[in-house]
Amino acid sequence: MFGLPRSPAATYARLGVETSVQTANPHQLVALLFDGARAAISMARLSMEQNKVDSRGTSISKAIDIISNGLQVSLDLQSGGDLAAKLNALYSYMTLRLIHANANNDRQALEEVDNLLGEIQSAWIEIADKVRQPSATV
């Protein structure tokens, strides 16, 4: 009557994500965007394997949304210099590759974007670790 019943596990997972977002600092929020985009790509890959065209498209659309409306718009192109410009171009490229993956049922394109996101995510995590460590020289 009031929507589809959720499993306790799904409710717990949703609350966990909501709590993470509410308590995260800006650096952690970007990390959550990487996690979300990569999870959507994993779901698209699974849907592709199972020939579920609708869910593949939904998952790829979610990944595109996270990349273009989350990661890409969070770039500071004014003061971010060359790095921000290169990331902006890379996020645009990823979006095009995901569109290609969906239109052509191309698993390799999904893998490519997932690998690129993984590399950027690793660097992002490494930056967080360095920011948290107290500096030896003040």
CA 66 vs CA 30, 78, 86, 122, 136: distances in Å: 10, 21, 18, 17, 37
103 located within any domain:
yes
- Residue 95 within any structural domain of the chain: yes
Q: In whole angstroms, what is the distance from residue 94 CA to residue 11 CA?
A: 31
Instruction: Count structural domains, the chain.
Output: 1
Task: Provide the CB-side half-sphere exposure for 98 (13 A, CA).
Answer: 31
Residue 12: inside a domain: no
Read off the CATH number of the domain in which 110 is found. 1.20.120.340
The verdict on residue 34 lying in a domain is yes
Residue range of the domain that includes 84:
25-132
pLDDT digits (tens, 9 = 90+) for 74-110: 999 999 999 999 999 999 999 999 999 999 999 999 9
The predicted pLDDT at position 21 comes to: 55
Q: Note if the pTM is more than 0.85.
A: no
